[in-house]
Amino acid sequence: MSTEQLAGATGERRWQPLTAVQRRVVGVLVEKAKTTPDAYPLTLNALTNGCNQKSNRHPHMELASEEVERALDELREMGAVTEVQSGGRVAKYRHYLYEWLGVDKVELAVMAELLLRGEQTIGELRGHASRMELIADLNALRPILDALLSKDLIVELTPAGRGQMITHNLYTPERLEELQAQFASGAGTAEHAPPRLAPAATPGITAAQFETLQAEVAELRETLTRLQDEVAGLRRGG
């Protein structure tokens, strides 16, 4: 039986609210484990670069390595992260979120995107999470969201339906109350919706195809950022 299948078998809740930096750190660890497994586990430097990259992140951050290291220490205390390959070698870090959250691999992809970007429409979430694990369409996403709702890991900010806004439940209670109040007043939808071209302005492309194209562009930007980081690292090494 795999780690993913074992996750949550005891039914015991291990997760707890996280700060913004902690959410970014674990989100990056999950993302890199799925999208660049050859480079995972991550060094502190690689993790810091991942936290600060411009693509697939909201809000953008400029974290110092000391801030990332402090968050790692806190996450290790919670049992969400561990250090490997230490003692004479460069320390690297990996996540324990399958066990910590009690989720399977597709559920974790959805959670990672919410941790990296915050609240999103279900259409955006499907497109974003599909770069880690295939989610064919919104019909395939719905049972995943239902499972996460049953585990109290996500929160519905607006009523069910097309354009519904979803977020994770790992905020502090105060921050979550703030967010829910914003969406209850209608201010949150306008404030958090990213600017985009209307699908109607692109003849011959459906809304679902447009969302898929958006996700593919985001993935290409992430690849470009990773390549730029690698080139910068080679230059420093030279």
Domain ranges of the chain: 105-218
Architecture of the domain spanning 105-218:
Orthogonal Bundle (1.10)
Residue 106's nearest CA partner among 5, 235, 236 is 5
**Residue 84: which H helix or E strand, with range?**
strand 81-84
What are the phi and psi torsion angles at 120 (to 5°)? -150, 160
Query: What pLDDT score does 210 carry?
Result: 61
Residue 78's nearest CA partner among 18, 148, 8 is 18
- 39, pLDDT greater than 70: yes
What is the arithmetic mean of pLDDT over 147-173? 94
Structure tokens given for 213: 């194209």
Query: What pLDDT score does 114 carry?
Result: 98
Q: What is the mean pLDDT of the chain?
A: 84
- 192, pLDDT greater than 50: no
Q: Exposed (0-12), middle (13-18) or buried (19+): which is 143, by Cβ within 10 Å?
A: exposed
C-alpha of 172 from chain center: 17
- Residue 92, beta-bridge partner list: 43, 84
What is the arithmetic mean of pLDDT over 193-197? 46
Q: Where do runs of H (alpha helix) occur along the chain?
A: 3-6, 20-35, 44-52, 65-78, 97-101, 105-117, 122-129, 138-150, 173-184, 187-192, 207-237
In this prediction the pTM is 0.76
Structural contact between residues 180 and 158, judged by C-beta atoms closer than 8 angstroms: no
For a pLDDT cut of 70, what percent of the chain falls above it?
73
Buried b (16+ CB within 10 A) or exposed e, 150-186: ebebbbebbeeeeebbbbbbbbeeeebeebbebbeee
**Interatomic CA distance for residues 199 and 213, integer angstroms:** 11
Query: What pLDDT score does 201 carry?
Result: 46
User: What 8-state DSSP symbol labels residue 79?
Assistant: T
pLDDT band at residue 11 under the 50/70/90 scheme: low
What is the arithmetic mean of pLDDT over 139-150? 97
